[in-house]
Structure 1
Amino acid sequence: MILVTGGAGFIGANFVLDWLRGCDEPILNVDKLTYAGNLRTLEPVLHDPKHVFARVDICDAAALDALFAEHRPRAVVHFAAESHVDRSIHGPADFVQTNVVGTFTLLEAARAYWSKLDAGERAAFRFLHVSTDEVFGSLSATDPQFSETTPYAPNSPYSATKAGSDHLVRAYHHTYGLPTLTTNCSNNYGPYQFPEKLIPLVIANAIAGKSLPVYGDGQNVRDWLYVGDHCAAIREVLGCGEPGETYNIGGWNEKTNIEVVHTICDLLDAARPKANGSYRDQITFVKDRPGHDRRYAIDARKLEGKLGWKPAETFETGLAKTVRWYLENQAWVGEVASGDYRKWVETNYTERG
């Protein structure tokens, strides 16, 4: 069995669904079920005997110790995190608690469990920490892409707390010998993403006839990674990665935000045409967020060279799949886009108009 934290969130749930479709090894899925955790996403596996769900906060040391003792996982894949930059600007305390304190608590529980395993199990155990390219800061238009040796320079409370968690994971390997792996990924997109993020937000607002908010001049650049490709890369790192190493996971798809929004509008124009005009007519430029990094870009050559992984999707094929999924799963979107989410969109975007 493997233990997955944050397995009801966007990337974690996609990983759980992919894992259980592809192999017989069970998953212990640990999630606090905050606003971004959605059990409806896991509906296909909720009654699968290979999927064990535990509603547990990763800051709860006693609960984690009990889960390790009962289920005896051979590996941990740690997705659980507060991950939205704008939320971290408005309320950084939750990010410090989950991303730093939570990762520390999980590391302590894993170390205590691992230290009592027999020699063979200790050697086989892995703790895979899923992180972000945002820990590296911002690039200019001419800077080389982020590599595994790029110095850390986080610019938001979110990225600073993820950087702190990365450093803790590294320290637990070098100090205690815990066999850790760290992955730093670029911007993910795909099915089941909470609609506060750019791509699902634009899709949802477009078909609802609402404005499509774009920060600043729309020229901020991100490297886009289809979530299915990310899950495949994590499986590869978990299976074959070298303990103590970090691996960058990127999609080789640098796009400006306005390019992304234009492409979504064009796909929607083809799939669900408006009575008059284009979805592009709904684009509205809003005040930029504080400390908005200009460009992220991942150099994923180490992962390809060492482990043979490269993305299967181009941005065009992945985005087409994503738009189609959201159009075909409006019930899921409708359930998510309520309560805290509506209040959040109003607070974060209406005030920027």
Structure 2
Amino acid sequence: MSALHSPEGTDTAADSFLGAKRGRRGSTILNPRSYVKEELWKQAPVLTGSTKFEPLLDTKCILVTGGAGFIACWFVRHLVLTYPHYHVVSFDKLDHCATLNNTRILDSKRNFAFEQGDITSPTDVKRVLRKYKVDTIFHFAAQSHVDLSFGNSYEFTNTNVYGTHVLLERAREHGITRFIHISTDEVYGDVPIGAAELSETSILAPTNPYSASKAAAEMMVLAYRSSFKLPIITVRANNVYGPHQFPEKIIPKFIMLLQRQQKLLLHGDGSPTRRYLYAGDIVDALDTIFHNGDIGQIYNIASKDEISNIDICHRLLDVFGIPHQTPAELAQWMQHTEDRPFNDQRYATDGSKLTALGWQPKMSFDEGLKITVDWYRRFGEVWWGDISRVLTPFPVAHGNEIWTKEEHDDLPSSDGELVYDEDSASWTEQARERLQTSDRIV
């Protein structure tokens, strides 16, 4: 079967299959609208949550921002397939970490629609709210990768803070009945080892540009709840993993490195821990909050699976059947790189408030990891396009374009601002050599 062409008609058959192009400065351009071979997304398992509640009578049309991204695509699939009563609109800018492959299986469903748009555009948001007579908003869309926030913090503030402000203001004008804001446990900041788990009333103390932007967004949410009585619920979740996650995050990135027989590049000493939720479990949690939660409340979605970064390496090596018991064996497959400018040691949140609504995580970390590894071994290389640069230490992303850190540092601009011209083949030679000579296991 031949590859389908993109709506813009700009892709060759090869580009269409890979879903990526070469940038003018030697970068990779990922095109989330590119069509891959039809059997790819039809062969992928259709993954959703497992909960089902009585539909809310005052809910007819749900707008899901960031619907072509990781967590949101799981939730979109779950809503569309579990609740025919709801019409679900996936609204996404389609930047580098999104892909229409995540929801293309729903295109034939009468209660699903996709709209491309930007949450920072008041015009885009107003248009989609009016077009579909939206009554409920699930706000997932965000810049979310902490590594990128250290070098591209303006974009995080623009998307996460201003974009949330735009949604809130348009929601107020439009008169929505529910606004569920998806935040993160990182707004609480670092929790020392042995300290008590943090509840929803704990002070926010973010420590990096990403978590600061999410905390700032929450202040806008709180203000609109107080000033305009906007019907808002806020959700703060632990780290989420599973199939469909763009491989810039640690678990899918490490899976793909091992799949390519490359070393795992571990930030610092690998001791920081995170609590992990399987994607299907957070979908069930959000479904529970949507149907049983109270307007005006904040809910932690909390796991007990607290795993260090270095432990993730060991567990993945186990899943791949790679010996790593001795220091020599481990050194073949793992190396330490520079750490983030600041790296929280751990996060720990108390989820008892959500537990009282009847939710508990069902997936063990080891079982969820095996399912995730299987999905990436089958689909990871082709789902988004050429992810080679994504798998390098500290890649740099702007929109749909991705560089290695070395390539971006070599950009001919004093402040790293992007400069485009047609005749620019020679400047990347040193960066390309560094990329090609990176450690690889033969």
* 1:279-294 correspondence to structure 2 within 5 Å: 281-294=332-345
Correspondences of 1:164-175 after superposition (within 5 Å): 164-175=216-227
Instruction: Give the structure 1 partner of residue 194 of structure 2.
Output: 142
CA contact 2:247–2:390 (8 Å) conserved in 1: no
Counterpart amino acid of residue 298 in structure 1: T
Q: State the distance in 2 between where 1:28 and 1:292 align.
A: 36
Q: CA deviation at 1:341?
A: 6.9
1:74-94 deviations in Å (ceiling 9; x for gaps): 210000000001111011011
Check 1:161–1:332 CA distance in 2 against 1; reply closer, same or farther (3 A cut): same
* Superposed CA offset, 1:102-160 (max 9, x none): 0000000001011xxxxxxx6xx110000100100001111112211111000111000
Which ranges in structure 2 are unaligned for 5 or more consecutive residues? 1-60, 397-402, 408-433
Answer whether contact 1:131 1:162 (CA < 8 A) is retained.
yes
User: Does the aligned pair in 1 maintain the 2:139–2:182 contact within 8 Å?
Assistant: yes
Structure 2 equivalent of residue 184 of structure 1: 236
Distance change >3 Å, CA 97–CA 316, structure 1 → 2: same
Residue 87 of structure 1 corresponds to 148
| Deviations, residues 172-197 of structure 1 (Å, cap 9, x unaligned) | 11111111000000011001111110
1:321 to 371, 384, 388: 371
Which of 276, 280, 290 is 1:224 aligned to?
A: 276
1:61 aligned to 2:122? yes
Q: Structure 1 unaligned segments of length 5 or more: list them.
A: 115-121
* 2:350 aligned partner: 299
Where 1:335 maps in the other structure, the secondary structure is coil
- Count of aligned positions: 339
1:346 aligned to 404, 407, 418, which one?
Answer: 404
Q: How does 1:80-119 map to 2 (within 5 A)?
A: 80-114=141-175
Residue deviations 1:238-284 (CA, integer Å, cap 9, x gap): 112111110000221111111111111101117x99xxx97873111
1:155 to 207, 212, 231: 207
Alignment root-mean-square deviation, CA? 2.4
Question: Residue by residue, what CA displacement relative to the aligned partner does 1:285-335 show, whole Å, maximum 9, x if unpaired?
Answer: 111111110101221111001x11111111112111111111122443462
Residue 303 (structure 2) aligns with: 251
> How far apart, CA to CA, are the structure 2 residues paired with 1:215 and 1:189?
18
Normalising by structure 1, report the TM-score. Answer: 0.90
State the shift of 1:63 in Å.
1.9
Bigger-Rg structure (1/2): 2
1:303 maps to amino acid: L
Q: Is the 8 A contact 1:262 1:280 kept in 2?
A: no
Residues in 1 aligned to 2:318 and 2:384: alpha-carbon distance in whole angstroms: 23
User: Per-residue deviation at 1:231?
Assistant: 1.0
Change (3 A) 1:330 1:62: closer
TM-score (norm 2): 0.73
Deviation at 1:339, TM superposition (A): 6.6
Residue number among 65, 71, 76 corresponding to 1:16 in the alignment: 76
Provide the C-alpha distance between the structure 1 equivalents of 2:274 and 2:198, rounded to a whole number of angstroms. Answer: 12
Matched, 1:73 2:134: yes
Are 1:4 and 2:64 an aligned pair? yes
Cα contact 1:220–1:293 (8 A) shared by 2: yes
Q: Of Structure 1 and Structure 2, which has the larger fraction of its residues in helix?
A: 1
Q: Structure 1 residues 223, 348: closer, same or farther in 2, change over 3 A?
A: farther
